[in-house]
């Protein structure tokens, strides 16, 4: 976390753990390919920032 930005990563807290957060969001949205993972959950109006294996970000 820096400057109010909460990125996911390898963390003990499930709400910040990239694996836990990504798996939860995959269940909620079947349209997201499983080659993408969550880098940030804004917790505002369902805004999720995804990243693909090439490093492209999607809102």
Q: Is 5 among the domain residues? A: no
Q: Is 3 among the domain residues? A: no
Domain that holds residue 37: 14-58
pTM of the model: 0.79
Radius of gyration of the chain (CA): 11
Percent with pLDDT over 70 in the chain = 90
Tell me how many domains the chain contains.
1
Q: Is 6 among the domain residues? A: no
Q: Is 43 among the domain residues? A: yes
Alpha helices in 1-59 (DSSP H): 18-28
Higher pLDDT, 25 or 12: 25
CA 52 distance to own-chain centroid: 11
């Amino acid at each position: 976390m820096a400057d109010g930005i909460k990125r996911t990563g390898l963390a003990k807290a499930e709400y910040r753990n990239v694996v836990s957060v990504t798996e939860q969001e995959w269940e909620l949205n079947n349209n997201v390919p499983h080659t993408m993972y969550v880098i940030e959950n804004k917790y505002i109006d369902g805004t999720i920032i995804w990243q693909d294996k090439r490093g492209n970000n999607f809102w």
